[in-house]
A and B are shown apart, each in its own frame.
Chain A
Amino acid sequence: GAGVSQSPSNKVTEKGKDVELRCDPISGHTALYWYRQSLGQGLEFLIYFQGNSAPDKSGLPSDRFSAERTGGSVSTLTIQRTQQEDSAVYLCASSLRFSGGMDTQYFGPGTRLTVL
């Protein structure tokens, strides 16, 4: 079946511009996560959505970052006034449900963002 898809696969933007990154989770998955991976750095959590509950935004690095999930499916991560330190691979993951410690996440291929 179809996995998690993300678009675009690559995005180059100029400093100060806004960007939107899209994630299509696996159909039927109620939990959706955003992570980012900077060059030479590990993966860091950004935000997650679970059903109709309020999202956990504890990982967002600044108020320039925001995310939405419409209709419990597609999610968009928006970065306003991009900075060079925002350059990274942004990864989306989904899981069938938030089932505590057994939750298994399925990752998309990522969007590589380069801020010039």
Chain B
Amino acid sequence: DAKTTQPNSMESNEEEPVHLPCNHSTISGTDYIHWYRQLPSQGPEYVIHGLTSNVNNRMASLAIAEDRKSSTLILHRATLRDAAVYYCILKGGGSSNTGKLIFGQGTTLQVKP
């Protein structure tokens, strides 16, 4: 699976939008972009995923660059509960797909009241 690069940490104010970037310059054509987050003392939680087009769900939006070499997770209104480590993960859809998730260090998001 290709590697992703994320900032180590970010800060946001409560009720403001948050844009979490992820670079994946070696992404292959069949790789899906997944985002998971891990709240303190909990297991990871699925957030969103996409392939080429932007995606929206009740938790967040995923904006994917046209060349797919980067993506941005958007939390529209951050709450204190959104303070977590956010992981951007590429998951292959081709024959190389092994099922496992390869977690990097992620971005630790702090939300200030």
Residues on A facing B (Cβ under 8 Å) = 4, 31, 33, 35, 42-45, 48, 50, 56, 58-59, 91, 93, 98, 100-110
Question: Residues of B contacting A108 with CB < 8 Å?
Answer: 43
Cα separation A109 to B38 with both chains bound (whole Å):
11
Question: Residues of A contacting B103 with CB < 8 Å?
Answer: 35, 42-44
| A-B contacts at CB below 8 angstroms, number | 69
Minimum CB–CB distance for A12 against chain B, Å: 17
How many of chain B's residues touch chain A, expressed as a range?
20 to 34
Within 8 A of A (CB), among B89-113: 91-94, 97-106
- Of all chain B residues, the one with the shortest Cβ separation from A4 is B43
Residues on B facing A (Cβ under 8 Å) = 30-32, 34, 38, 42-46, 49, 51, 87, 91-94, 97-106
Q: Indicate whether A106 sits within 8 Å of B46 (C-beta atoms), given known contacts A50-B99, A56-B98.
A: yes
Of B32, B46, B92, B93, which is within 8 A of A105 by CB? Answer: B46
B49 touches A102 (CB 8 A): yes
A42 touches B104 (CB 8 A): yes
